[in-house]
Amino acid sequence: MSASQKFGRILFGGDYNPEQWPKEVWYQDMQLLTKADINEATINVFSWAQLQPSEERYDFSTLDQIIELLTENHFEIVLATSTAALPAWMAERYPDVTRTDFEGRHHRFGGRHNACPNSPTFRYYSQKLAAKLSERYGHLRNIVCWHISNEYGGQCYCDNCAAAFRVWLKRQYKTLDAVNAAWNTHFWGHTFYDWSEIFPPNDLGDAIGYDNSTLAGLSIDYRRFMSDSILQNYKDERQAIRRFDPETPITTNLMGTFKDLDYFKWAKEMDLVSWDNYPAYNTPSSFTAMTHDLMRGLKNGDPFMLMEQTPSQQNWQPYNSLKRPGQMRAMSYQAMAHGADTIQFFQLRQSKGATEKFHGAVISHADTDQTRVFHETAALGHELAQLGGDILGARTQAKVALIFDWENYWALEYASGPNIRLKYVDQIQQYYAAFYRQNIAVDLIPTDLSAAALAKYDLVVAPVLYMVKPGVAENLTTYVKNGGHFLTTFMSGLVDRNDNVFIGGYPGPLRELLGVWVEEFDALPPEKHGQVIFTDQSTYECELICDIMHLEGAQALAHYGAGEFYAETPVVTNHQVGQGRAYYVGTQLAAAGIDHLVGQLIDQFDWEHFTTPANVEITCRQQADARYYFVINNGPAQETLAWPYQGTDLLNQQTVAPGEITLPSYGVKLVKVAK
Amino acid sequence: MSASQKFGRILFGGDYNPEQWPKEVWYQDMQLLTKADINEATINVFSWAQLQPSEERYDFSTLDQIIELLTENHFEIVLATSTAALPAWMAERYPDVTRTDFEGRHHRFGGRHNACPNSPTFRYYSQKLAAKLSERYGHLRNIVCWHISNEYGGQCYCDNCAAAFRVWLKRQYKTLDAVNAAWNTHFWGHTFYDWSEIFPPNDLGDAIGYDNSTLAGLSIDYRRFMSDSILQNYKDERQAIRRFDPETPITTNLMGTFKDLDYFKWAKEMDLVSWDNYPAYNTPSSFTAMTHDLMRGLKNGDPFMLMEQTPSQQNWQPYNSLKRPGQMRAMSYQAMAHGADTIQFFQLRQSKGATEKFHGAVISHADTDQTRVFHETAALGHELAQLGGDILGARTQAKVALIFDWENYWALEYASGPNIRLKYVDQIQQYYAAFYRQNIAVDLIPTDLSAAALAKYDLVVAPVLYMVKPGVAENLTTYVKNGGHFLTTFMSGLVDRNDNVFIGGYPGPLRELLGVWVEEFDALPPEKHGQVIFTDQSTYECELICDIMHLEGAQALAHYGAGEFYAETPVVTNHQVGQGRAYYVGTQLAAAGIDHLVGQLIDQFDWEHFTTPANVEITCRQQADARYYFVINNGPAQETLAWPYQGTDLLNQQTVAPGEITLPSYGVKLVKVAK
Amino acid sequence: MSASQKFGRILFGGDYNPEQWPKEVWYQDMQLLTKADINEATINVFSWAQLQPSEERYDFSTLDQIIELLTENHFEIVLATSTAALPAWMAERYPDVTRTDFEGRHHRFGGRHNACPNSPTFRYYSQKLAAKLSERYGHLRNIVCWHISNEYGGQCYCDNCAAAFRVWLKRQYKTLDAVNAAWNTHFWGHTFYDWSEIFPPNDLGDAIGYDNSTLAGLSIDYRRFMSDSILQNYKDERQAIRRFDPETPITTNLMGTFKDLDYFKWAKEMDLVSWDNYPAYNTPSSFTAMTHDLMRGLKNGDPFMLMEQTPSQQNWQPYNSLKRPGQMRAMSYQAMAHGADTIQFFQLRQSKGATEKFHGAVISHADTDQTRVFHETAALGHELAQLGGDILGARTQAKVALIFDWENYWALEYASGPNIRLKYVDQIQQYYAAFYRQNIAVDLIPTDLSAAALAKYDLVVAPVLYMVKPGVAENLTTYVKNGGHFLTTFMSGLVDRNDNVFIGGYPGPLRELLGVWVEEFDALPPEKHGQVIFTDQSTYECELICDIMHLEGAQALAHYGAGEFYAETPVVTNHQVGQGRAYYVGTQLAAAGIDHLVGQLIDQFDWEHFTTPANVEITCRQQADARYYFVINNGPAQETLAWPYQGTDLLNQQTVAPGEITLPSYGVKLVKVAK
């Protein structure tokens, strides 16, 4: 159960941090926020120093007052545990709580997200605080969600972490021989003969900058270990909360494709997923859509909370452009379209000082409701209040799945060669975008689904499936044999979970499924492009990497054009296996080329899809009895499109008939169509 | 009294460092320098290691000889105290004397400007050396100026500095509560409960790179503290000198818009301002002019020393182009035009080794007077000797003032958001340049002048007056009410002296004066431009930041062109307040747009101004009975211009009549016009 | 005697590292490698951790088996000593073995080439291992070469190195006064009064980034000291080997123009030169040719080993393009053409894990001989086997010499000013390339050859001969007087071996020889170009630096074009001295301008040269009775060229008659022409 479902309406609120203001401001806030139909506040995100002013003393008096005020004013509360920033006294008294950085420097006090995850002091006191909070507030009916810490991430390379890493390794590998084999330490004579010889891979050890390493296996394992260590911090606090509050959902806010943490692993420990959406001024809407879908995918399609977005502008981007009139609304509905049941802002009131003081807020420094941003927020609040809760819990029904895997992400980007421009998220995004352009629903899924779980999809796409972990090839093969379709690309099937290459010909365990053998891959510098010619003679550019391959049962769908020694050799292939097919794309196709390929796939399936102008997306969530179509203009110009169904626009209660419909700049229709 | 005035002639000399040469070279130097009419030498700048070869021993024998030689040869002397570079033995014996850097690393021996300003050892021995020098040489008649240390700057982050910072904070804030409020530490839970929890904001603490910070208030205060700490070093030595020499002017060489030190605060402690002018090959002449004016402004218009310039080329720029024939002369007169009574070079003789060996000198490695550079220097020497001292002490009479404020500089550039391309000096420079293009005299003034002091100006310009310190808004308002004109821009009136935002609507304390309310500011990425249309329909590009504002009494002088949601809204405004007016420019106007605005202002006032070709400037200094016009061609081509007055060109004693005059490449006229 | 000559055939093999594989793979490797006519394996490069698993224990059992296997299969062996990567246990037990980096951080275990050269522990155990290897295997007949460590390089800045540096300085300079004079420490007051005050020049000391320094003399000496220290490591192991093996040639693999080590000094200690050739995808063939010639020049023309090249692609470049079909063969012959008697690969079998796993190999991850790369390797193997050993030991007969000097390289790039774009290798390369374009043989020589040794050359070219060490000017002058021709450029004759400027006019000790005085040098920013007009009115662009000079006996061959104040002044000159001539080029001429100049020189001499298409080179090696011409198409297109001689193509045993010949893409002819 998501926090919002509990209440039959969409949660609409955000981060609220009144401690820096006098009381009279609080009362004014309550009036303004109520006026905007805001019904929820996330509080206590960075208050540890206030709650525990010294090692010996806790002081909940201010928090008591804030909760009381919110409760009296009928707000729901997302209660954070405040452990994302250490109190200064703790850093001074217990140096183990701060981190040692990639350069090997132990930090003094500063910043946030600054706790060493393996610090005994941090672990003790963070649990203690979470327990105290739960004991004191966990019984309150309007605490709708616990929010542990905030935007977890980062790494530590201190001696405590080194020691914990060795314990983690022993648990994973049992013996040093197994470690040496896993990391192929023999290469460059790195064989370890004692656990104590193993160090975290930072600038003083085996790392080569942030994104390369003498022993990629070590670096990947350190990322696994760090993700696990920080997850343990989360679990520590969760357990502490559960001592006094057995029920209220617990979350922490994630950050889309953020590299540091294996969110699929994390999501298993979270009652609901929440996340912070901060696109840059030029982030394509397809990227934002993908991250929403990824967040929804973390818990197998469960609705999520949009924990943070700015109502107007950010402050920490290079260029913090304003959201245009209507754009905040459109982006809020985009979040809902892709699975959000909660719309929150960072922040309800703009801070008066420190680093984020120019980050937008519902109540700005102008301290009034007479602002564009307040008006737009209030209008959205009213709209959502009228909408009620019918849509809560509605689900996406996708026939296409896209695999996203953090371990693969790490491994691919630690790989030395063949091309430094190869980036994991870019690779995933370009395939996502091709489906998005056709308004085809996509689920983002982990790499370890069973063939049975995959069976509901017509197509599973796994770009750069570089690391193939145990069982994955088998699952995919069974899935295809049973009628599924699978598509993967260059740089797939190369290494096992320890980053050791599958010997015997690329793409390793996927070779039989794909029916191709990739003998070599050429790397293209940025100034160089190749040509891909499909069997229908349509021709597209390619770049980055060009596989040179042999057909072993697959059919060529496209071959390279003239100009290189591998001209005329196959580059896009299709392999019939059992009832299904396996596709392979041996190069970085230009977007139009991927569109062409996706077009061929659409022709095979009865996927619901829509042709829309570039800035318009149509996305569907479904309840048992109805489909909810979000028709969103993500751009600043008016757009016209063809619409096929009879339905009702829930935002204005007007009937929408099949035919041409027009959306103003950043306009939205939410059309309910009966099943 | 400036050092040069004492002698009724312009000081013409430079840095002289004969210790690396055998004696026969010294005698040759005297002949060559005398031949060039050089009448001054700055000595002893980096000789500490020689003067104090060990902790126990001082040795002045070489310096005695140098001073004797210069005295015999009738040179004036600027005597440096040599404390800008530590002796190696001191760094080895007393590690507290070296700095801890931004990355947190304590330095061993190396470089220069390398002393921790809060090192007890450094403070003790630097004072002792200054006292010894003063005792020994302070009575000499030809010591015309003391030069303490050299090009002060930099930061230290050591534990001594941390301790001194806490003392400084206690003096400023009295209580920790006041510190917490000033820095808004509650944000991100940084509340301090003990002074010992506060650390310098470097990479191990609260800084986020050099130009961002978790707590901007802390970072700004650390800059204040560092500027003060280093100023204390200067004052230490000044006091030591004054024990034995009560009279001779004392200075240290500044560096224009150098960010580290609050030069307005420093200048109060200096008997005269001196500075080093090192433009790059592509520095516009308007920038150099502005820095001269800033240096003149530091002591309210007093003439300054040009302590260093190269006679030919520099060595530490990326591209060390030669000054073209005549260019050194033109730049020397430009310095005089803007207030210099002294023209010095770094350096009189070129060094034979170490990092600056390729820096130009009057006597080059060729070791002869048969060089272009020597010839040009000697020619200038003769010219200055003939000029005598009539011009000494002459002052600039400006009707336009431009506010430059180091605290504002620091605060603006620590601000996170809205646009990383926003740079303080750029903002000041573009307004300066618009007046410079019209040959209108401008004073650079501090931010804290009283309304009475401002009253002599027709117009006060304060671009990006981000930080408005106590009293500033009141002074400006009184100034305007009494008939003054004030112009400011976007990003003004935002924060108080602790970098906390004025709540209630931008531009905060300037809102009433300006008659506008800025509701939002949009940040434009580099590829994006807007349009500004003045009421006369003239149209200019704008970029960087676009304010969205409401008129509250002001009149619109220009509005935004089409293309954005804030099209047609006001962007340049004019507010009648009492007898004066307050202008607001809500965006980064293209240069032509600022020219348009300045043109409108010129039409209102009877400012002396001249229309000249782009490379020609006309600048005036005034004595009681005469005006001295410097007509300078800063470019490599011949230029012709209109000239309005009857006068005498002091450089050739010819009459200059009104009419067209022609200047050769880098040509100069110095026209005396009787009052 | 080079290792390959011993056997009457070209060594053809590479790095072999079977320890990471099970035994069955070894047997398969033997079959595959034999099939490719590979006759040599370099082994044991990074096996220290395996050979000495703990301080007390050595274990040669695996190495025994590898050697036995190779011997049984008739492979020659290049036996490495394995000391290029420390065992982890050693780093943990003896922290002195790891390095302190430029930033001042002492490293823990990680990477390779990671030993502090002045670590007592490292020196003790590296010698011990080398001795044990020699004792155990030195007697084996098929050990054809010892390979000490691997790709030596890097720097250490630890306290052990500081102490050793002081000892090194005492040996060089005897007194501190001499050090102070050498480094001109008086500048900026750096005078040292005790040896203990001297520190390595890293970020905590006198360095200003990697490529600048307060005291260039110190930084240059530290590079000398580091090169010497690491050379001592090499000599330590060499001595240990020689205790048991008095004969087998000893080498270590160098890296072309690699900056860290003074390879001319190193080569004196090596029995034969070997090196690793890793061009990037866009490295011009003239650069590779130059590095081969440099490696050949290190031992005065002796043939060298190509120790490493990739058969297909690299992994650590930004863009690791494949070698095109035929390109590996063409590049192998290019190596031979310029002096290699050995062609080796890194590597024989591709690694399964760790950082270089995507580096190409003869046996790829596909684990089969059915690959393009294997086929090409085998084809080359067969070709080389047929070729036999006739060419072994053949020598290059060049009439043009090009000076390359590491101390000059270091000094020039530490120079602060005049232009940051000035790079030593670029300067050498552009002159090399001009001769290469004419297919004129060039020897790369050190700077200290006697006039007698120089006498065999018609022309000696020394671009940017910035540092002129004792005797060099005298040797060059005698050489020219006796009829030689000498060409040098701007930035020559400036400093002595300690980086102190020759006083009295540039180019210092070369001024009389060149007959010019360079009064000034202008630095051009990247956007600016000048013009050079030769006496025949042909005109070329110039850039970077423009000397302004006076003729003192030389004749002008070219002068500057219009546009600058030094228009019409001489820029290329020619000075008749005795029987010879000395040329000076006072600017960075565009390539076409250098070609023009080289064309004028060709007209004076009877050098053998060939006109070929841009991608084709013709290179000659000579035996007593025959000349061997390598005609190589380094490009992907077919090329046609004129060929003057009657001979036999040894690669297909066909007669080659004078006339037009055609080479396919990457085609090669090896034409034997009888003398």
Beta-carbon contacts of residue A465 (< 8 Å; ≥ 6 apart): A403, A405, A408, A447, A472, A488, A489, A492, A493, A510
Under an 8 A CB cutoff, do C367 and A505 touch?
yes
Active-site amino acid positions of A: 151, 308
The band of C7, judged by pLDDT with boundaries at 50, 70 and 90, is confident
- Measured in angstroms, the CA of C316 and the nearest CA of chain A are apart by 6
Picking from B110, B281, B372, the nearest residue to C520 by CB comes out as: B372
DSSP assignment, residue B5?
Answer: G
Beta-carbon contacts of residue C184 (< 8 Å; ≥ 6 apart): B20, B351, B352, B353, B354, B357, C215, C217, C498, C500
B384 dihedral zone (left: phi>0; alpha: psi -120 to 50; beta): alpha
Beta-carbon contacts of residue B675 (< 8 Å; ≥ 6 apart): B622, B624, B625, B626, B627
- Measured in angstroms, the CA of C163 and the nearest CA of chain B are apart by 14
- pLDDT tens for A113-134 read 899 999 999 999 999 999 999 9
- Measured in angstroms, the CA of C541 and the nearest CA of chain B are apart by 18
Picking from A47, A318, A321, the nearest residue to B522 by CB comes out as: A321
Query: What is the structure's pLDDT at A1?
Result: 55
pLDDT of residue B47 exceeding 60: yes
Please, is A288 exposed, middle or buried when counting C-beta atoms within 10 Å of its C-beta (0-12, 13-18, 19+)? buried
CB atoms within 10 A of CB B641: 17
* Amino acid code (one letter) for C101: D
CA distance B298 to B270: 10
Which of A319, A329, A374 is most worth mutating to test chain B (most B CB atoms within 10 A of its CB)? Answer: A319
Picking from A82, A92, A372, the nearest residue to B197 by CB comes out as: A92
B151 is catalytic: yes
- pLDDT tens for C609-647 read 999 999 999 999 999 999 999 999 999 999 999 999 999
Size of interface A-B (CB pairs under 8 A): 185
Residue of A nearest to B544 (CA): A319
Give the residue extent of every domain in chain B: 3-152+228-387, 159-221, 400-602, 616-674
Under an 8 A CB cutoff, do B358 and C201 touch?
no
Chain B CB contacts of A364 under 8 Å are 519-520
Chain B CB contacts of A59 under 8 Å are none
Which of A32, A45, A66, A108 is most worth mutating to test chain B (most B CB atoms within 10 A of its CB)? Answer: A108
Please, is B268 exposed, middle or buried when counting C-beta atoms within 10 Å of its C-beta (0-12, 13-18, 19+)? exposed
CA distance A48 to B593: 51
Same fold across B3-152+228-387 and B400-602: no
Structure-token match 């349509």, residue found: A538
B308 is catalytic: yes
Residue of C nearest to B101 (CA): C204
Q: For residue C614, give the 3-state DSSP assignment.
A: coil
Under an 8 A CB cutoff, do B205 and A108 touch?
yes
CA distance A322 to A313: 5
Chain C CB contacts of A420 under 8 Å are 318-319
- Measured in angstroms, the CA of B459 and the nearest CA of chain A are apart by 29
Average pLDDT over chain A reads 97
How much is the ipTM here?
0.96
Q: Are B121 and B76 in contact (CB under 8 A)?
A: no
The band of C5, judged by pLDDT with boundaries at 50, 70 and 90, is confident
Mean pLDDT of B274-289: 98
Structure-token match 């003096």, residue found: B171
Chain C CB contacts of B110 under 8 Å are 199, 201, 204-207, 214
CATH 3.20.20.140, applies to A400-602: no
- pLDDT tens for C89-125 read 999 999 999 999 999 999 999 899 899 999 999 999 9
Under an 8 A CB cutoff, do A191 and C318 touch?
no
Residue of B nearest to C415 (CA): B355
Give me B191's structure tokens: 């509340």
Q: What is the CA radius of gyration of chain B?
A: 26
- Measured in angstroms, the CA of C176 and the nearest CA of chain B are apart by 13
* Amino acid code (one letter) for A563: G
Query: What is the structure's pLDDT at A209?
Result: 87
Under an 8 A CB cutoff, do A103 and C107 touch?
no
C570 dihedral zone (left: phi>0; alpha: psi -120 to 50; beta): beta
Residue of B nearest to C182 (CA): B353
Chain B CB contacts of A366 under 8 Å are 504-506, 517, 519
CA distance C45 to C51: 11
Superfamily for domain range A3-152+228-387: Glycosidases (3.20.20.80)
Picking from C47, C92, C107, the nearest residue to A196 by CB comes out as: C92
Query: What is the structure's pLDDT at A210?
Result: 85
User: Which residues make beta-bridge pairs with A619?
Assistant: A630
Picking from C82, C105, C358, the nearest residue to A416 by CB comes out as: C358
- pLDDT tens for A67-122 read 999 999 999 999 999 999 999 999 999 999 999 999 999 999 999 989 999 999 99
Picking from A217, A505, A520, the nearest residue to C312 by CB comes out as: A520
Neighbours of chain C (3+ CB pairs under 8 A): A, B
Picking from C315, C353, C366, the nearest residue to A417 by CB comes out as: C315
User: Which residues make beta-bridge pairs with B660?
Assistant: B642
Under an 8 A CB cutoff, do A191 and C371 touch?
no
CA distance C289 to C338: 7
Mean pLDDT of C211-233: 96
Q: For residue B496, give the 3-state DSSP assignment.
A: coil
Under an 8 A CB cutoff, do A318 and B525 touch?
yes
Structure-token match 């087998």, residue found: C248
Query: What is the structure's pLDDT at C4?
Result: 72
Chain A CB contacts of C319 under 8 Å are 418-420, 523-526
Chain A CB contacts of C86 under 8 Å are 189
Angle between helical axes of A406-414 and A424-437 (0-180°, round to 10): 130
Chain C CB contacts of A548 under 8 Å are 372
The band of B141, judged by pLDDT with boundaries at 50, 70 and 90, is very high
Q: For residue C12, give the 3-state DSSP assignment.
A: strand
pLDDT of residue C501 exceeding 70: yes
Under an 8 A CB cutoff, do B520 and A372 touch?
yes
The band of B1, judged by pLDDT with boundaries at 50, 70 and 90, is low
Query: What is the structure's pLDDT at A511?
Result: 98
Mean pLDDT of C140-153: 97
CA distance A483 to C492: 75
| Ordered strands of the A340-345 beta sheet | A250-251, A143-147, A76-80, A40-43, A11-15, A340-345, A304-308, A274-276, A253-254
* Amino acid code (one letter) for C323: K
Residue of A nearest to C665 (CA): A565
Q: For residue A161, give the 3-state DSSP assignment.
A: helix
Return the exposure string of C74-98: e unless at least 16 CB atoms fall within 10 Å of the residue's CB, then b: ebbbbbbbbbbbbbbbbbbebbbbb
Whether omega before B117 lies within 30 degrees of 0, making that bond cis, reads: no
Query: What is the structure's pLDDT at B210?
Result: 85
- pLDDT tens for A303-313 read 999 999 999 99
Please, is B72 exposed, middle or buried when counting C-beta atoms within 10 Å of its C-beta (0-12, 13-18, 19+)? exposed
The band of B15, judged by pLDDT with boundaries at 50, 70 and 90, is very high
Chain B CB contacts of C192 under 8 Å are 88
Q: Provide the H-helix boundaries in B577-616.
A: 591-604
Class of domain B616-674 as given by CATH: mainly beta
Under an 8 A CB cutoff, do C352 and A207 touch?
no
The band of C2, judged by pLDDT with boundaries at 50, 70 and 90, is low
Active-site residue, selected from the candidate residues C76, C151, C237, C413? C151
